[in-house]
Amino acid sequence: MRAWTGIALVLAASLVLGGADDPPSTPPATTLSAPPEAPWKPDVRLVYESDTRAYYRPCGCNLSSAGGLSRRATLLENLREQSAPVVLCSGGDFYGTADVFNEAKSRFVARMMGLLEYDAIGVGEMDLSFGLSTLSADVRSFELPVVCANLVSQVDTGELAFPPHRVVTRGGTRYGFIGLLSPSTQLQPMDKAHAPAATVDYTLKDPVEAAQAVVPELRASCDVLIVLAHMSDTDATKLVERVPGIDLVVLGHDPQGNPIGVPTKVGGAYIVRATSKGQNVGELCIRQDDRRHVAEVFNRMHHMDASYPDDPAMTARIEAFEEENAKIQKELFARQQLASDTNDPYAGRYLGLGTCQSCHVEEFEVYANTRHARAYATLSSQFVHRDTNCVGCHVTGFGEAGGFSGVRMRGASVDLIDVQCEACHGPGRDHARDGSYRETAIQSCVRCHTPNDDPDFDFATDWPKIAH
């Protein structure tokens, strides 16, 4: 598969800061570049990840774009060929955002996780993007080992949606997994302009109370107890402090995309996290004592860049999916074009470039010569302007009330394609003259100029190139 076929240049920085108009070709990758090995021979390798968010391939913003299921498959095959057994798990959020363009990709990722033979999978709030019924159907169809001890599907009876825990045996050692989802990771209300109409068909029990009820039972039937905790660092620390008997915590839910390279130790438990968009996969090497309990750990973080070769079988599955998905996207696109949203209470919140230009003439002239002004064309030239994993950094107000709704609409009163003034400064209806409107623009840069998508970005040196 050509790595750039159908891949959007998500990063708006690349549109401004001196890259070529056409995306570069990916250099061939023939060797596996891995982090240093543990100083001792591990008894087991706990391989973990979270927050894939339907990014089944690298976004393609630059040559070093990381991620992709093909590279993940290569890594897993390599690790499974080594002497220490592998236990594979996920902290959740393998589904993407709640919009019709992401549903097919989310379910494809779920299917591939089944083929990659995960041992345990936690639940994140994004996995419920399309409703609990959709997730449950995929769990059954793809035989996914999902666990969650506090996700209740039947509120009146208190029935759990999935098993609270499971035990996996490798090399004679029993590894117990429990899943927990924090209510603090609430899903954002779905934008009716581009999201499916799904009702909330579940509730969440307090994760600490759920763990206190389940951990003693699981502890008695396993040698190593692992929590797949979809929650913040603070909530995870609170969990470990209040629930004895936990050995390892695999964290999910990290909007900032910050992996934990050196495990955090709280009491006798280690907390790890590998995130996001499939860019990092963690490998926790574990040395056990005579009782098969955790004696020592050494963490290896695999940054899934192009030095990890694509797995041919997974690549073929991706190509087959993309061919079929292209047909689905065309139909969805046609439906969106015919849609009307005249009753939108947020209409007029984003005013569009023409309104800004009428007062800020000099600033507009500077903007018109930047690549921000041609951001959407970068996507449409590759026919990926419908990919909601990419479009957000190439339009104005995506995912916001009254902003770009996922496709370019015919007859829209305001055309919000490209990275316009309001993409950085905020909605024109909220225009302020106290200096805060300018400060918003500075803070907005890091939304798209991320370390993975634009590793060379530096505000101090790059801002003068578009200063106005």
As a whole number of angstroms, the distance between CA 324 and CA 158 comes to: 40
388: in domain: yes
CATH number, domain of 115, equals 3.60.21.10
216: in domain: yes
pLDDT at 224: 97
- What count of other Cβ atoms lies within 10 Å of the Cβ of residue 35? 12
8: in domain: no
* Burial class (CB within 10 angstroms; exposed 0-12, middle 13-18, buried 19+) of 21: exposed
pLDDT at 362: 80
Same domain, 252 and 126: yes
Q: What is the 3-state secondary structure (H, E, C) of the chain?
A: CCCCCCCCCCCCHHHHCCCCCCCCCCCCCCCCCCCCCCCCCCCEEEEEECCCCCCCCCCCCCCCCCCCHHHHHHHHHHHHCCCCCEEEEECCCCCCCCCHHHHHHHHHHHHHHHHCCCCEECCCHHHHCCCHHHHHHHHHHHCCCECCCCEEEECCCCEECCCCEEEEEECCEEEEEEEEECHHHCCCCCCCCCCCCCCCCCEECCHHHHHHHHHHHHHCCCCEEEEEEECCHHHHHHHHHHCCCCCEEEEECCCCCCCEEEEEEECCEEEEECCCCCCEEEEEEEEECCCCCEEEEEEEEEECCCCCCCCHHHHHHHHHHHHHHHHHHHHHHHHHHHCCCCCCCCCCCCCCHHHHHHHCHHHHHHHCCCHHHHHHHHHHCCCCCCCCCCHHHCECCCCCCCCCCCCCCCCCCCCCECCCHHHHHCCHHHCCCCCHHHHHHHHHHHHHCCCCCCCCCCHHHHHHHCCC
Same domain, 257 and 349: no
Q: Of 314, 330, 361, which closes a domain?
A: 314
Counting residues of the chain whose pLDDT is more than 70, the rounded percentage is 79
Same domain, 168 and 113: yes
Instruction: Tell me the per-residue pLDDT of 416-437, one tens digit each, with 9 for 90 and over.
Output: 888 888 778 878 777 665 566 5
What is the token pair recorded at 167? 């035990």
CA dihedral 113, 179, 270, 39 (to 10 degrees): -30
pLDDT at 254: 84
Confidence of residue 256 (pLDDT cuts 50, 70, 90): confident
Same domain, 305 and 364: no
CB 224 within 8 A of CB 174: yes
Residue 319: pLDDT over 70: yes
The answer for residues whose C-beta is within 8 angstroms of residue 243's C-beta and 6 or more apart is 208, 211, 212, 215
The answer for residues whose C-beta is within 8 angstroms of residue 188's C-beta and 6 or more apart is none
Instruction: Tell me the per-residue pLDDT of 369-401, one tens digit each, with 9 for 90 and over.
Output: 888 878 887 776 666 666 777 777 888 877 777
What is the token pair recorded at 299? 């963490």
Of the two residues 329 and 213, the one the predictor is more confident about is 213
322: in domain: no
* Cis geometry, peptide bond prior to residue 64 (ω within 30 degrees of 0): no
Of the two residues 102 and 149, the one the predictor is more confident about is 149
Domain count across the chain: 2
67: in domain: yes
As a whole number of angstroms, the distance between CA 301 and CA 30 comes to: 20
Instruction: Tell me the per-residue pLDDT of 153-188, one tens digit each, with 9 for 90 and over.
Output: 876 677 999 999 999 999 899 999 999 999 988 655
pLDDT at 419: 85
Distance from the Cα of residue 335 to its chain's centroid = 27
Same domain, 114 and 178: yes
Backbone torsions φ then ψ of 197, nearest 5 degrees: -85, 95
Same domain, 354 and 297: no
Residue 323: pLDDT over 70: yes
Instruction: Tell me the per-residue pLDDT of 14-38, one tens digit each, with 9 for 90 and over.
Output: 333 333 333 333 333 434 567 899 9
Same domain, 132 and 243: yes
Same domain, 373 and 296: no
Same domain, 252 and 361: no
2: in domain: no
Instruction: Tell me the per-residue pLDDT of 446-458, one tens digit each, with 9 for 90 and over.
Output: 777 877 777 777 7
Q: Of 295, 314, 333, which closes a domain?
A: 314
Q: Are strands 280-288 and 294-303 parallel, antiparallel or unpaired?
A: antiparallel
38: in domain: yes
Same domain, 265 and 399: no
The answer for residues whose C-beta is within 8 angstroms of residue 326's C-beta and 6 or more apart is none
* Strand-pair partners of 6: none
CB 132 within 8 A of CB 125: no
Same domain, 242 and 351: no
Same domain, 241 and 377: no
Of the two residues 275 and 80, the one the predictor is more confident about is 80
452: in domain: yes
Supply the range of the domain harboring residue 179: 31-314
Counting residues of the chain whose pLDDT is more than 90, the rounded percentage is 49
